Structures are given as C-alpha cells and as structure tokens.
Structure 1
Amino acid sequence: MTADRQDVPRRRGHATAAAALAWLAVGAALAAVLYTGLRRGLGTVFPVTAVRVEGTVRTDPEAVRRAAGIAPGTPLFGIDVERVQRAAEGLPWVRSARVVRQVPGTVRIAVTEWEPRYLLRAERLVYLTAEGHVVAAPVVPGDDLPVVTGITPAELHRNAGVREALLGLLARIGDDLAGEPVGEVHVSPDDGFTVYTARRAVRFGFGRIDEKLARLERLDRHLARTGRRARTVDLDFEDRIVARVEPGALSGGRR
C-alpha cells in the first residue's frame, strides 16, 4: 500500500511534465504560424517603393539597382538581403555592399568601392588597387595613373612572391619617387622592378626597398650639390650605385 501511494506523486509529476512539454510544442507552433503570418502581412503592408543606392563614385547607381533585381511592389520583408548584397558585390568597382530594409518601403544599398591606384597593362589596360585587386573595367579617359608593365593580371595572381614584392614597392613610393611623378613601374622576372619618371629610370631589382630608397636619396643630394642629375640609376648592387648622369659628368659613384 505504501509503495502504491508513493507512485501516485511520481505519476502526477510525469503527467505535469508531459503537459508542460505539450504546451511548449503548441506555443512554438503558434509562434511559427504567427511569425509567418506577420512576415506575409508586413510584405503586403510594406511593398517596396524605392531602392536607394549610396556611396557610388565610379559605379552607375542604376547598375546596382539592375543587379539587385528588386521590382517595385516586391514585399519589403520578402527580399533576400544576402542575395542582393552578393549581386551588388559582383559589380567590378564594388568592394563591399550593405543592404538595409527601411519601413515603409525603401531598400538602401550602401556600397564601398575599390580605389584605383595604378593601371595594369595586359591585353588592355585595367585598374590595380593598392591591395593588388584587379578591376577589369574600361579605363576612363583622363585617369592619369602610373602604369605597371611586364606582368599580366593572371601572372600577378599566380606569383604570390612577385605580387607581394610589387605591392610593397608601390606602397613605399606611391605615385611619386623622390619628388618626381611615377609614369611606369616595369616588372621583370630577371631584373626585378624598374621605376620610370619623366626624368630618369631607377632600377630597384628585388628586395631591400627601404635601404635602396635611402641610397637614392643620398645620391640625389650629392648630385644636387654639383648641379647634376642622373638619367639612369641602378640600385641593385650590394656595395655601389651605378648611375648615368647627364652629359659632361662622371658616370658612377659609391654609396
């Protein structure tokens, strides 16, 4: 008799737990139904009336809208935000995109674009960023940027060592070498890098860029004191600088 009486509370406890679980299941199902209904309702109440594009400089905002593919009247909360983001980021100049839905009916697409720093000569000119990203967009007339020659985008992508060395050099010199605008940076598998300005050609080779820039600065100071300028400079030697100065001057020097 005592054992039977002890089993009664246990059975009641099991029944209470089962009932609680059942109510939880019913509540979860009801919440899902309400959520689905709410989304459908919001979509009906808040149709898209405008797609606003922000942050474009080189990208046509209309191209972003076409890529997004959001038709007027589309349910605002039925839009696949990640799909729209990927579509916008598939455009040549778009580095990243952020998509925001705004009640009552606006989709805002904020883009960040790649910043071109150089032109890269391949079958045709393309843009190159400071990060080494190639933007395969038609070059705009008037974009007066230094040109990187001697290497194609595919070779730049395959050869990580050359790519990192080139980006390191470009980061150090930018578009100005010792006060002279850079016109061309030539890449040679054998000779390394040669930088051309309107006045001279400076061969850096590979490696020790900071050291070579310091040596070039010392050479320029020395030549300035004597009123001379070097037409070509080869910095790719351990113990000397080889320079060809303007006619009537000596042709070489030590560090």
Structure 2
Amino acid sequence: MGAALWLVGEWEPRLLPIRLIEVEGELHHHSSRLLQERLSERLSGGILTADLEELQSVAEDLPWVGRASLQRVWPDTIKVRVEEHRPIARWNADGLVTSEGVVFRPTGGAVPAGLPLLEGDDQRAPDVTSRYLKWRDDLMLVGHLIQTLSVDPRGDWRVDLVMGTELRLGTGPVEERLARFIASARQIEAAGQPQVVDLRYSNGFSVKWTSRTDSERRAQSDRLARSGNRG
C-alpha cells in the first residue's frame, strides 16, 4: 500500500499534469494573470492529487477576493470561480467593509473614491453596516447623505452629514431619535444652517447653529419658538 501511494505521488503529476488554470468572474483589482501566478506557485500534484482546499485558501488570501471555488476539469485544467469583495464604505483608518459587514484591509490598489466612512470595533461591523444602509435610505428621503457614521466602545452613535451637520444620537433608542430629526429636518433647515443637532433628549432636541449675524439668530429663534421645537 505504501509503495503504491508513493508511486501515485511520484508519477501522477508527470502523467496527468495540470496545464491550465482557468479563472472565471470579474476581477477589477486583481487580474486573472496575478491569480494564476499565485496559484501556480503553490500548485503541487497532478489533476487527481492537487490540493484544491489549499489553492482555495491561496486565492482567498488576496485582499480583494471574497470567495473562491475550484474544480477539476479533465484532463488537465483547474477552473477557479472568483467573487470579489464589493465595498460600500471605508472602515476606520485602513479598511473597507461590504454590505454584509465583512471588513477587509487591502494592501495595495486604489480604494474607490467617494465612499462614506464607518467607524467602530470590527466585531460591530455587521450592526454598523446594517444601520448605515437603513439610515442612508431614510435620510435620503429628506435630501441628506451620510458622510460618517460611528459608534464608540460605549455604544454612543454619531452621524456626520455631507452638508456639515453632526447628529448626536447617544445610546439607547437611537432609531427613534434619528426619526425625530428626519421629521423635523425641513423645519430646522428653514431656520438656518445647523452645525450640531443633539438628539439625546427624551422628547426633543437642541440645535447649535453655524455662525450668523444677530438678526439672523433672532429670526431662527422666532421660527423655532413657533414650531414648538427646542433650539
């Protein structure tokens, strides 16, 4: 038995060599040639004995590759199907994150421009991305885009909007607090340019305005007093 196994290991790669590595799937950040080179470097054995699990691991170690599947195609081909990570946002200082909350840190290549920034501990990435996707859609209904969404280790949430406004949501019922801002957003903006909207109150919010003249500040105060909101 031992001799037979030795003969298989010794002669199978020579009799049934792998001559082609065929790559399928869209590879924007890693060319098919690069992937083929990496797999060829780690390839051992012939079509029957090549370790596909090891080769899969090699493929998925490339920074932008999310999933890879391999199959043998008789008589001399390994077919590789690749799916790249599709980031929806930057993650902290050095990473990217997908809509499923998968964090990856590319070591090279261009990072897509114009992505928002999400911040938090890596283990919270699925929760942060889930909230980002929901809040992004909710805020777009009132004409706002998220620039930064962050949660600190204490669970304190903050949203920075592209227009320059910071929303402080705090801990606790953050969904309810964001809904309160969305319901009042047009009223607030009619009164002026908000710099910070602090929603960490039980039934209201406070607003810090960008610097304006005294007459403009008085007009803002009058409008907010009539609206019934606390400014």
Normalization by structure 1: what TM-score? 0.66
Q: Cα–Cα, structure 1 residues 44 and 130, in superposed 2: closer, same or farther, change >3 Å? A: same
Measure how far apart 1:142 and its partner are.
Answer: 4.9
Deviations 1:52-88 (A, max 9, x none): 1222232232332233236899622221111111111
The within-5 A match list for 1:141-160 is 142-149=112-119, 151=120, 156-157=121-122, 160=123
Work out whether 1:60 is the aligned partner of 2:60.
no
Residues 44 and 50, structure 2, Cα contact 8 Å, conserved in 1: no
**Residue in structure 2 matched with residue 3 of structure 1 by the alignment:** none
Q: Pick the aligned partner of 2:148 from 180, 184, 189.
A: 184
Aligned length: 212
Work out whether 1:206 is the aligned partner of 2:171.
yes
Residues 29 and 109, structure 2, Cα contact 8 Å, conserved in 1: no
Measure how far apart 1:164 and its partner are.
Answer: 5.6
Q: Which has the higher contact order (CA 8 A, sep 6+)?
A: 2
**Residue in structure 1 matched with residue 97 of structure 2 by the alignment:** 128
Identity %: 22
Deviations 1:193-248 (A, max 9, x none): 22112321112223433322321221124346x56553321222211122235642
Measure how far apart 1:112 and its partner are.
Answer: 1.7
Of residues 83-92 and 64-73 in structure 1, the stretch that sits farther from structure 2 once superposed is: 64-73
Residues 48 and 73, structure 1, Cα contact 8 Å, conserved in 2: no
Partner secondary structure for residue 131 of structure 1? coil
Residues 76 and 101, structure 1, Cα contact 8 Å, conserved in 2: yes
> In terms of Rg, which structure is larger?
1
Normalization by structure 2: what TM-score? 0.72
Q: Pick the aligned partner of 2:200 from 233, 236, 240.
A: 236
Unaligned runs of 5+ in 2: none
Q: Cα–Cα, structure 1 residues 139 and 180, in superposed 2: closer, same or farther, change >3 Å? A: farther
**Residue in structure 2 matched with residue 140 of structure 1 by the alignment:** 110
Write the distance in 1 (CA, Å) between the matches of 2:90 and 2:31. Answer: 21
Q: Cα–Cα, structure 1 residues 134 and 40, in superposed 2: closer, same or farther, change >3 Å? A: same
Unaligned runs of 5+ in 1: 1-28
Measure how far apart 1:97 and its partner are.
Answer: 0.9
Q: Pick the aligned partner of 2:17 from 30, 47, 62.
A: 47
Partner secondary structure for residue 69 of structure 1? helix
Equivalent position amino acid for 2:118 in 1: V
